[in-house]
Amino acid sequence: MPPQPDDCLFCMLVRDGDHVHRADGFVAINDINPLAPVHVLVLPERHVDTFRDVSEFDADEAKRMLEFVAETARVVGLEDYRVVVNVGPGGGQTVFHLHWHILGGQTLTERNL
Ligand code: AMP
Ligand code: ZN
């Protein structure tokens, strides 16, 4: 694995966090501040700053990342859900390690992100 940024919270959680699902270079953790009854974050194990840098993934890895998002939703028991990626400060991104929010467990409104 290439060197990880020492000061990245999500790199630390990849190493030491409680994972609700892990496979194939990706992990899922519960969001510490859930905005819905189920609020899970999916992260690549390797550090990529933002979705803007998605071209750092090759086609196979990008496909597996999307499949892992869908698989995680199934693992946590969701059939209907919302997937959100905040990109950059203006998009609401506060942690600069790419992550996908999965929200569900209730009928979602605009208040759930
Ligand atoms: P974003 O604002 O899109 O960058 O999302 C960052 C998310 O990380 C927020 O929903 C936070 O609640 C969540 N978060 C921050 N610190 C932690 C942590 N230690 N464990 C789990 N989730 C966290
Ligand atoms: Zn990181």
Domain containing 41 — which CATH number?
Answer: 3.30.428.10
Residue 112's pLDDT is 79
Question: Would the CB of 50 count as within 6 Å of ligand 1?
Answer: no
Domain that holds residue 106: 9-112
Domain count, the chain: 1
| Residue 4: inside a domain | no
Whether 91 has a pLDDT exceeding 70, the answer reads: yes
Residue 101's pLDDT is 98
Name the closest-CA residue to atom 13, ligand 1: 31
User: Do you know the residue count of the chain?
Assistant: 113
| Residue 2: inside a domain | no
| Residue 3: inside a domain | no
Query: Strand ranges (DSSP E) for 1-113?
Result: 21-23, 26-30, 38-44, 81-84, 100-104
**Distance from the CA of 89 to the center of ligand 1, in angstroms?**
13
**Annotated catalytic residue 47:** no
| Residue 55: inside a domain | yes
Average pLDDT over residues 78-88: 98
